[in-house]
Chain A
Amino acid sequence: MRYITAVVLFIFFAFAQWWGLTQTPPDAMMGEVQKIMYAHVPAAWNSFLAFFVVFIASIAFLIRKKRRPEPAEGMFWDRLARSAAEVGVVLTGLTLCLGSIWGRPTWGVWWTWDARLTTTAILFFLYVGYLSFRKFVDNPERRAKLAAPLGVLIFLNVPIVYFSVKWWRTLHQVQSSPSTMDPAMVLALRLNAFAFLGVLILFIYWRYQIAKRKSEHEEAL
């Protein structure tokens, strides 16, 4: 069953990418390089989604712990937060790399200090910090208890980072809305967004299973 889901998802993903690459018109100004959008934008959207999952799972853990302080309680939420953070970091890294590859021919630079770009990079650092912090606490219960407030606090910082950097400087082009885009592009973008969403859910599920097995293994020892 697990393999069937993965195979179906892979086919859908490949189809969505193929659709974006071949079935859409090239951009009027940027040409073919714009096709990177079908991986860059879905990855960015879904990484934000993953970080939102970290936030919600951390809050759920804290609430659960408050109600029932037994050691084994709330570990589901802790593992979910951890898996979502891992997948979110991967997608953010992908977003940054693809954006950089796209920015070089379009803007003429690999990197620029624009608001959304800088915010994404800071997000990347914050969640890499979150993950490496988790590595340095050995006791699983204690780790869960310490990581949850961290997951909440980091997410609270995101809007503040965004606005402060926006005041600082801005260059990123205004988001296109469906009304300004070719309908074929909108369709391809939506298709890819769902394909990435599927990847996100599958990856989180896999990482969750691994985390669960690991803790079962630790308990057995």
Chain B
Amino acid sequence: MNFLRCFFAVFYKDLLSELRQKEILNTLLFFGVLIVFLFSFALGTDPGLLKKISPGLLWLVILFSSVLALDRSFQAELEEGCLDHLVLYASSQRALFLGKTATNFCAILIVQVVTAFAMMILFDLPAPDDFPLLAAAFLLGDLGIAVLGTFYAALTIKTRARQAMLPLLLFPMLIPLLLSAVYATQTAMEGSLTNSGGSWLSLLAIYDLIFLTACTLAIEPLLET
């Protein structure tokens, strides 16, 4: 019971401070749409090409912009010098970690949806073929990024060169997620003869499950004061 209360307290606190400040979310949304815009300059405006590579581009945008959010996730507490207090107050460090993860998940999901819309408008993409598959790919993919990202943010928080370390460590870990999320999204957008979207989705679910468990078990030594 205590665990759940702690989880919701951290989740609520972070969400509230984010909704009041709107610091991260505004930056991220702007950043996401801006990159989509930049892609058109870098790659030309050929609709066929853009349509073909849009699932990959979408997930790359999410990867890069989520690093910005993840990097900030322990930053507010650290700057005010209350991270150690938070860790001490929290009845469980795992609940604290999961609460942070939930907040990051919400932020990444919002950015993902908005970026996807921006992409559909700017690249003139047709409506997705398989909407539930697309939604599932978004949810599972963002969950995986949030879990591992929050873990690595906790890992790098007190190291030197934090901002360079986070993507360097995080991106190679996310390669399986990137692969399966991109192919699931592609199947959802265009439909597929082999219907491979389901198997990519199950790989995504297994990935999430393994790392949600492993990160929750392994988080304690990272947050110890």
Contacts and interface: CB of A to CB of B under 8 A. Distances in A.
Interface of A: 62, 65, 122, 125-126, 129-130, 132-133, 136-138, 142, 145-146, 148-150, 152-154, 156-157, 160-161, 163-165, 167-168
Interface of B: 151, 155-156, 158-161, 165, 168-169, 172-173, 175-176, 179-180, 183, 199-200, 203, 206-207, 210-211, 214-215, 218-219, 221-222, 224
A219 B79 CA distance: 31
Contacts of A157: 173, 176
Given A145-B222, A167-B179, 19 more contacts: A62-B218, A62-B221, A65-B221, A129-B168, A129-B169, A133-B169, A136-B159, A136-B165, A145-B221, A145-B224, A146-B222, A149-B221, A152-B214, A153-B173, A153-B218, A160-B210, A164-B180, A167-B200, A168-B179
A146 B168 CA distance: 16
Nearest to A138: B160
A164 B224 CA distance: 34
A125 to B, nearest CB: 4
B166 to A, nearest CB: 10
B182 to A, nearest CB: 10
Given A65-B221, A153-B214, A156-B214, A136 B161 contact: yes
Contact of A126 (B173, B199, B200, B221): B173
B211 A165 contact: no
A204 to B, nearest CB: 23
A153 to B, nearest CB: 6
A155 B176 CA distance: 14
Given A149-B218, A167-B199, A122 B179 contact: no
Nearest to A62: B221
Which DSSP category, helix, strand, loop or mixed, fits chain B's interface? helix
A138 B176 CA distance: 31
B162 to A, nearest CB: 8
26 contacts: A65-B221, A125-B172, A126-B173, A129-B169, A133-B155, A133-B156, A136-B160, A136-B161, A136-B165, A145-B224, A146-B159, A146-B221, A148-B221, A150-B155, A152-B214, A153-B173, A153-B215, A154-B173, A156-B214, A160-B203, A160-B210, A163-B176, A164-B175, A165-B175, A167-B203, A168-B183
Contacts of B159: 133, 136-137, 146
B169 A164 contact: no
A163 B160 contact: no
A100 to B, nearest CB: 19
A123 B158 CA distance: 25
A65 to B, nearest CB: 7
B207 A160 contact: yes
Q: Find the residue from A62, A122, A149 having the highest chain B CB count within 10 A.
A: A149
B176 A161 contact: yes
B63 to A, nearest CB: 15
A145 B200 CA distance: 35
Contacts of B172: 122, 125-126, 129
A124 B172 CA distance: 10
Contact of A122 (B151, B175, B183, B206): B175
A145 B203 CA distance: 31
Contact of A142 (B158, B210, B215): B158
Nearest to B196: A167
A65 B224 CA distance: 12
A72 B58 CA distance: 47
Nearest to A152: B218
A126 B171 CA distance: 9
B13 to A, nearest CB: 25
A157 B207 CA distance: 9
Given A129-B172, A161-B175, A149 B180 contact: no
Contacts of B214: 152-153, 156
